[in-house]
């Protein structure tokens, strides 16, 4: 159960993020989760959207550098320790988290943790064995 994510490289200057979100909106693409990481010169915008291929296409047509990767979406209770439990599970196996971000659909119910691990196959098996719920891209987009 992997989720497709797009990564957009953008200049670290005013208006670039707004431009991307406007392009997506004009094409009926709904952002379900996002993360922005930046350096002095550029940023990486990671997005989970409802129309991955269309988002990649329209952003490239507008001059953005776009890549597609897979991530794992782990559903946990929205309570203290939800993230800690997942991290304890992967740490026990010596796995490395390359990056992660999270979102909550309705406070107090479930949180969704988005992970990129150094070994995605091993992480998938490990998390499923631990009884954690992995969501598909369709499930994430339906939240």
Please write the tens of the pLDDT for every residue from 80-108.
888 999 999 999 888 999 999 999 877 66
Contact 49, 42 (CB under 8 A): no
How large is the average pLDDT for residues 11-27? 91
Give the CATH fold of the 3-69 domain. VC0802-like (3.30.2130)
Tell me the HSE value of 63 on the side-chain side, using a 13 A CA sphere: 4
Judge whether residue 112 has pLDDT over 90: yes
Q: What local confidence, expressed as pLDDT, does residue 58 receive?
A: 97
Task: State how far Cα 81 lies from the chain centre.
Answer: 20
The model's pLDDT over 21-69, given as tens digits with 9 standing for 90+, comes to 999 999 999 999 999 988 777 889 999 999 999 999 999 999 999 999 9
Q: Which CATH class is domain 71-136?
A: alpha beta
Helix (H, G, I), strand (E, B) or coil at 44: strand
74-96: buried (b, 16+ CB within 10 Å) or exposed (e) per residue? bbbebeeebeeebeebbeeeebe
User: Which residue is it, tokens 């993020």?
Assistant: 17
Does residue 126 register a pLDDT over 80? yes
Residue 73 pLDDT > 90, yes or no?
yes
Question: CB pairs under 8 A, 24+ apart, for 90-93?
Answer: 90/117, 90/123, 90/126, 90/127, 93/122, 93/126
pLDDT at position 12 is: 79
Q: Is the pLDDT of residue 16 over 90?
A: no
Pinpoint the residues of the chain covered by CATH 3.30.2130.10. 3-69, 71-136
User: How much is the pLDDT for 107?
Assistant: 66
Measured CA distances, 91 to 80, 87, 101 (Å): 18, 6, 17
pLDDT at 40: 73
């Amino acid at each position: 159960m992997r989720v497709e994510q797009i990564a957009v490289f953008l200049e670290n200057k005013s208006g670039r993020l707004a431009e991307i979100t406007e392009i997506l909106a004009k094409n009926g693409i709904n952002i379900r989760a996002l993360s922005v990481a930046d350096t002095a010169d550029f940023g990486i915008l990671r997005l989970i959207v409802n129309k991955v291929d269309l988002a990649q296409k329209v952003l490239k047509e507008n001059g953005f550098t776009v890549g597609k990767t897979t991530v794992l979406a782990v559903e946990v209770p929205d309570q203290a320790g939800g993230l800690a439990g997942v991290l304890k599970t992967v740490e026990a196996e010596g796995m490395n988290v390359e990056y992660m971000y999270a979102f909550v659909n309705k406070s107090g119910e479930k949180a969704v943790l988005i992970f990129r691990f150094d070994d995605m196959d091993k992480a998938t098996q490990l998390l499923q064995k631990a009884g954690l719920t992995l969501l598909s891209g369709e499930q994430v987009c339906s939240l």
